[in-house]
Structure 1
Amino acid sequence: MEQITVKASQSSYKVSVGAGIRHKLAAFLPKVYSNIFIVSDTSIAPHYLDDYAASLLPEAKVTKKIIEPGEAAKSKDMYFDILDSMFEAQLDRKALVLALGGGVIGDLAGFVASTYMRGIDFVQLPTTILAHDSSVGGKVAINHETGKNLIGSFYPPVAVVYDVDTITTLPEKEVRSGYAELIKEAYIGDAAFLDALLSRKQLDKENQNQLIQDLSLGIKVKTKIVEADEKENDLRKFLNLGHTLGHAIEAEAGYGTFTHGEAVAIGMLFALELSEKRFGADLQLGEFRSWLERNQYPLQLPDLSAERLIARMQMDKKSENKEVHMVLLQDIGSPVTEKVDHDTLLQAVVSFLERMRSV
């Protein structure tokens, strides 16, 4: 098992990564809770909820809230529905919320916890590789009709308990999705980790020791960045490597065509190409493309409009006054945020789309 301490302004918390640790949850909680509210979804609860509930102290009152999976759950209606259930369960300010699931559950349950009675404790219990990213750093949110994660706050958990046993039930595309964020973290902060990932023949969700090591290394990169920039003022933007074009592709292709991580992987390919042209660094682009191909990432894009993609990139949170600001790499481990002028960006996107259609 690995343990990583994250130092937040409000408090510090431990991220515990191991196999079978869901059976020892009470040991990872910072204090004793007499009233506990578990939020999970119908894809996860049948596999793991009873294990986590059974590992709590027998005298604790446990209430379970099971919702439908998917991004649509991060809605205003579901937010108030969960609040209603918490009041019905008579939770007080010393109660605990457990978020058992992927990033959607973590975002939703964390935001509910941050606002119930002006904030009660919550614990992240991630069950996907992708959630290693969202469960650390304290960003919680729900969606608005205008866009994703527009209603939220910075509210760190009191603990993250990450049982890698839960990853064995993930479909392969979700494994790919999660590893895209891990290799992103390697590129921005750990050259040795990057070399290890690129040299590996294939992703293996059954190798628990490898999963613990990979997840821990990725979390350590993110921890270093969020500790230096907790409220996303500067350095935390570096975690968006590959996301500027990735988010645009995800939306333009139609949500569900690519997973979030698959779209980010394509966006990283573009960002690395742009970085090599701008800074002349060797970013192991060939090795990265081979790694994507070996692990069956989708690298053929549908017929997308460069102009529409750029319009979406202009709405990216890093962009200012419709000027696109992208995270690029001066070298492996040396990310920067750079403004890319419209003509350069249009030429690069058009060229990239042509090549990705012929892969």
Structure 2
Amino acid sequence: MAADIEADGDASSSAHRVHVPLEGRSYDILIGPRLLERAGALLAERFPGRRFGIVTDTEVARAQLPRLGASLDAAGIAHGTIVLPNGEATKSFSRLEEVVEGLLAARLERGDLVIALGGGVIGDLAGFAAAITRRGMDFIQMPTSLLAQVDSSVGGKTGINSPHGKNLVGAFHQPRLVLADLDTLDTLPPREFAAGYAEVVKYGLIDDEAFYFWLEANRRAIFEGGPERAEAVARCCAAKTRFVLADEKETGVRALLNLGHTFGHALEKITGYSGRLLHGEGVAIGMVMAHAFSARLGLAPGQDAERISRHLSAAGLPTRLGDIPGEIGGTDAIMDAIAQDKKVSRGALTFILTRGIGQAFIEKGVDPGAVRSFIEDQRHT
């Protein structure tokens, strides 16, 4: 089933709408400028009489919360705010408890809504808190990072990290609305924007060779904020929606969205979610490794990994293990982290491999010895 991109007639001509037609739980993804300024009117129309609990982090609270707060105030919408520290370490049990208790202390009822205002960390955490508070509250994603706008805010995957690995505790809980305000991307540090771009590239590498080639031709315009940026976000959201409609709970084809993530999540874990390696940076390295590993197995052309590496490097992303600052430990540490990947089944490793750009596939029962040998070689290149 395809997902259509439509012009949003209620906003400027550069706005887009992607509809997610899940049975009984459909929602819209609105993409465009000044959506935070329009949020109050949109929420008052779609959710009349509701109260809202905003979950955000310190950086987003400084840069974006005043815009949203003023919009809600102007619409006469009651709201409160929970502000958490910025960074991957916030996706923890202790912060989850803080959010849940904050929502309860604010006396938000089951019919009220949680707003996740922030990047992927806040979206995952606030969405999971909504899923379990009062046995399930509705929530709205207002993603403020490129990574969140093109990937994590869409599809209902919510959760937190465990000491055993990334995103191992969570729930599938679809949002009621996604507002992707493109203006928020203008305030991102260059490193964070680049990290989000890795997830943009991912959609081309999975099954859309033409989109990947379009990205090679339009990368500069996307980074500079031209209309190509809005188009890229909309195309990614439409692609993500297509996978969600085909496989909402990730029991099959949706796993393709994890291209590069098995390696990437392992690298995030062994760097301690410390900020040395952002999620998108781990994915960038992981995607190059996935293509190189596929070539090593005789599945894909050898030049693909190098071509992708050049593109990601030009975007300011790391592409090799040696690009990670500081020590990352040995091969055993990486293998141990891979063994905790969510796609592991009965101890057997599952990887997203490729036969070429735009030709990713799911491979179960991958030989751990082959992975170990490949990682060992990668550590010395």
If the length of structure 2 is used for normalisation, what is the TM-score?
0.86
Distance 1:60 1:254, change over 3 A: closer
Answering whether residue 159 of structure 2 is matched by residue 141 of structure 1, we say yes
Answering whether residue 251 of structure 2 is matched by residue 242 of structure 1, we say no
- Residue 9 of structure 1: how far off its partner (Å): 4.3
Match of 1:11 in 2: 25
**Residue type at the aligned position of 2:36:** R
Distance 1:124 1:33, change over 3 A: farther
Match of 2:6 in 1: none
Deviation sequence 1:224-272 (CA, Å, 0-9, x none): 1111110111111111111111222223344322211111111111111
SS of equivalent to 2:317: coil
Unaligned runs of 5+ in 2: 1-14
Matched positions, count:
355
SS of equivalent to 2:337: helix
Range that drifts further, 176-185 or 339-348: 339-348
Distance 1:331 1:68, change over 3 A: same
SS of equivalent to 2:146: coil
Range that drifts further, 230-239 or 27-36: 27-36
Match of residue 307, structure 2, among 274, 279, 287? 287
Answering whether residue 288 of structure 2 is matched by residue 263 of structure 1, we say no
Distance 1:293 1:164, change over 3 A: same
SS of equivalent to 1:16: strand
Distance 1:11 1:65, change over 3 A: same
Contact 2:37 2:71 in 1 (8 A): yes
If the length of structure 1 is used for normalisation, what is the TM-score?
0.91
- Residue 33 of structure 1: how far off its partner (Å): 3.5
SS of equivalent to 2:353: strand
Match of residue 327, structure 1, among 328, 345, 352? 352
- Residue 189 of structure 1: how far off its partner (Å): 2.7
Contact 1:168 1:206 in 2 (8 A): no
Contact 1:123 1:159 in 2 (8 A): yes
Contact 1:165 1:208 in 2 (8 A): no
- Residue 10 of structure 1: how far off its partner (Å): 4.4
Answering whether residue 52 of structure 2 is matched by residue 36 of structure 1, we say yes
Counterpart CA distance in 1 for 2:353 and 2:373 is: 17
Match of 1:64 in 2: 81
Range that drifts further, 269-278 or 95-104: 269-278
SS of equivalent to 2:347: coil
- Residue 325 of structure 1: how far off its partner (Å): 1.6
Contact 1:201 1:294 in 2 (8 A): no
Distance 1:147 1:270, change over 3 A: closer
- Residue 303 of structure 1: how far off its partner (Å): 6.5
> Aligned ranges for residues 78-227 of structure 1 at < 5 Å?
78-132=95-149, 133-200=151-218, 202=220, 204-227=222-245
Counterpart CA distance in 1 for 2:371 and 2:267 is: 15
RMSD: 2.2
What is the identity percentage for the equivalent residue pairs of Structure 1 and Structure 2?
Answer: 35
Contact 1:186 1:221 in 2 (8 A): no
